[in-house]
Amino acid sequence: MHIEKNFSENILHTVMDVPGKSKDNVNARLDLEALCVREEPHIRIRENGNPLKPKAKYTLSVEQRRVM
């Protein structure tokens, strides 16, 4: 039961893009970049030097989160 709960919570937090709970973090994005998997999720550096983490395709929009 605990494994099912943890698994479903991790999926829900990742899809809902909950800060601090999502498994889609900066380290995961850097691993994707190192593996050369896809270019769209790579972290980009803004002009002011701050990193920009683009939204993942599987995350819900604000309207979709409200419906859920």
The tens digit of pLDDT for each residue in 40-57 reads: 778 888 888 888 778 878
Domain boundaries, the chain: 2-67
% the chain with pLDDT above 70 = 99
Query: Which segments of the chain does DSSP mark as H helices, in order?
Result: 2-16, 26-35, 62-67
Joined tokens for residue 57: 């395709």
List the single range of 21-25, 31-35, 57-61, 62-66 with lowest mean pLDDT: 21-25
The Cα–Cα gap between 48 and 10 comes to 33
Q: What confidence category does residue 1 fall into, taking pLDDT thresholds of 50, 70 and 90?
A: low
Dihedral of alpha carbons 31, 34, 35, 37, sign: positive
